[in-house]
Structure 1
Amino acid sequence: MNKIFPSLCLLLLAAVLCLHQTLANETPSPSVAPEPEDLIAQACDRTLYKNVCKAILESDPESKGSDFQDLGKIALQFASKNATAIFELVLDLSNSTTNEFERQCLADCSEGFQDVIEQVRDSIEALQSKRYNDANTWITAAMTDAQSCEEGFHEEPGHDSPLTEMNELFSQICSIALTITNLLDDAAAATTA
């Protein structure tokens, strides 16, 4: 027995060290509840637009004590406000332009952004119901419609879109929301697997 005991201790020590090393290398699951600032950093570090993500999420007082679900909702609510602001600008520009091509582009954008606003609302509902794939579908549709608005201005040479900066920001916000909903979807899939 004296010869087996040291070997057993070494084997047990090796197993503990391997387990410790494995756990140390794992990325925390989104379902783990670290501090809200840590959650914001975790979410934003995975996006293409880290600074925009942090600015949006940290600016909302609701982000304090939030989980990934809440952060996704905050991003989508911000996207909704942004889409509404673009729609209102489109209406203002439509009333002030005298160029027929621009008027038609703005009419198309007005129609498109009515859809965008509804799609973002649908994505918020899907997120709240934990239907993450549906949320992603609606977010992607909203991004596509916003991009179509932007591209309409470039169909005729010499015309620039007056909405480019706002459309780019909208696309970035939607990209951030997609990243968060994908994190949630991955976490949900891991818990059901």
Structure 2
Amino acid sequence: MHGPASPGWLLVALCALTGGYCLLRMRSAVEEQRRAAGGEALMGFGMAAMAVPAAAAVPPRWTWLAYAVVFGAAALRALWAARTSPHHLHHLVGAVAMVYMAVVMTASPGGHGGGGSPLLTGTLLLYFAGYVLWAGVRLMPVAGAGTGRVAGAGTGWGDRPEVARACRLSMGIGMFAMLLTV
């Protein structure tokens, strides 16, 4: 999470913008989409805060503990929600990854990471690499599937499923990048 400054700030911007769009998606008329968007907004803003380069600000140790508590609660909520929707399993893995990174940052001297379990880090990296590839493929247009309409026509720009998928893809890429520094 605390690597070179330029990529760190790009990651902060990507995650913050994604979190902001997810907040706008919370205005959807579809209840399940609103619920998922809330969890994704929390993840986006949390990732943005954790990705701030160390050269700009080194948060106190209690901050990492607070992240662990917040994302621990988000993991429990995602576990509960996974009973009805398998999409929440991805939220569960993301929240667990955030707890793991926060715990690593709490335990490391100076909050610079590098003290994580290679097995757990590798497993999470493999998961998010696979997720990014899967999500990227889902964004590719399917030949012959067009109906002559513009994608998302008749819906608000906050309800467009392809933009929500792109946000999830960008957060998966961000999570992968953050895990590389653990």
- Under a length normalisation based on structure 1, what TM-score does the superposition of the two structures give? 0.37
Larger Rg: 1
Which has the larger helix fraction?
1
TM-score (norm 2): 0.39
